């Protein structure tokens, strides 16, 4: 997110840890290796699901009252020929007055906030083990994560992740999107929670941010909520592709409803 100054207005492989092993410190590198492999499995599986993503962003004044708003509801679906795409369901006119969504914000919404740390990505990050912690009574391994270096045009996650100590998948993230950007761009800290949707994988279901962005000429508090709902598995005998990649004829999605998120 960045600021605009116009006529004085600113827009802007489970490893259960039980019994005698429960009090022992694990080998952090082995845990990282194994949860990254499970995350890679999950990332591939999630590409075969349809879901609805709802984004609500609100500017707040000093008293916490709403000012400008932005809302977008999209269905992540498959076209008749099996290509994965976004279908806009609702997009009312934005009334934001002091902030402006940038391409980096769009990238964060799609890839950083529902953060997945797979085997082919761990070399990009400095990952430090922080110890055992609980998230809503779920035993977890906690890690700090930050990019080793940043390349122009790419977005990264910086913050903390909690990995379920049985399923070895990320169940919560807290941090922000980072990258090489123009001076004056600011990005909020956020929390993303996952839930076990299909009995095997933990899917992101809820992201929330309530943060103050510090621009050169003013501070602006924002509140943002992203919900990922109605996960349904796409049934097909073909390889699923995204965007313009070629694929065989598409199949109809499974109509069995997924477990709705708690939040």
Read off the pLDDT band of 4 (50, 70, 90): very low
| pLDDT tens by residue, 24-60 | 667 999 999 999 999 999 999 999 999 999 999 999 9
Q: What is the mean pLDDT of residues 110-126?
A: 96
**Predicted model pTM:** 0.80
Is pLDDT at 13 greater than 60 in this prediction?
no
CA-angle at 50, arms to 44 and 54, nearest 5°: 115
Q: Is 205 helix (H, G, I), strand (E, B) or coil?
A: strand
| pLDDT tens by residue, 174-216 | 999 999 998 889 999 999 999 999 889 999 999 999 999 999 9
CA distance 238 to 236: 5
Read off the pLDDT band of 260 (50, 70, 90): very low
Among the listed residues 169, 215, 177, the one whose alpha carbon sits nearest the alpha carbon of residue 193: 169
Domain range annotation of the chain: 27-231
With contact defined as beta carbons under 8 Å apart, do 126 and 30 qualify? no
CA dist 140 → 17, 35, 131, 173, 186 (Å): 10, 12, 8, 12, 30
CA distance 115 to 167: 17
Read off the pLDDT band of 80 (50, 70, 90): confident
CA distance 246 to 95: 39
CA distance 172 to 193: 5
């Amino acid at each position: 997110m960045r600021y605009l100054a116009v006529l004085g207005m600113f827009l802007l492989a489970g490893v259960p840890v039980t019994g005698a092993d429960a009090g022992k410190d694990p080998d952090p590198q082995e845990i990282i290796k194994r949860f990254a492999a499970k995350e890679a499995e999950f990332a591939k599986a999630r590409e075969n699901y349809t879901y609805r993503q709802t984004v609500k962003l609100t500017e707040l004044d000093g008293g916490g009252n709403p000012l400008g708003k932005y809302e977008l509801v999209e269905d992540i679906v498959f076209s008749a020929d099996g290509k994965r795409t976004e279908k806009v369901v609702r997009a009312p006119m934005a009334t934001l007055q002091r902030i402006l969504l940038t391409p980096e914000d769009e990238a964060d919404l799609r890839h950083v906030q529902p953060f997945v740390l797979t085997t082919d990505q761990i070399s990009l990050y400095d990952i430090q083990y922080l110890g055992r912690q609980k998230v809503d009574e779920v035993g977890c391994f906690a890690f700090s994560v930050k990019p080793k270096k940043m390349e122009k045009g790419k977005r990264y996650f910086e913050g903390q992740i909690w990995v379920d100590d049985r399923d070895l998948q990320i169940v919560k993230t807290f941090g922000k999107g980072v990258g090489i950007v123009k001076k004056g761009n600011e990005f909020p800290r956020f929390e993303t929670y996952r839930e076990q949707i299909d009995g095997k994988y933990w899917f992101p279901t809820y992201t929330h941010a309530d943060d103050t962005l510090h621009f050169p000429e003013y501070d602006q508090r924002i509140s943002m909520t992203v919900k990922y709902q109605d996960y349904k598995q796409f049934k097909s005998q073909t390889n699923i592709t995204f965007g313009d990649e070629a694929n065989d004829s598409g199949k109809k999605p499974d109509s069995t409803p997924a477990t709705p998120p708690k939040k």
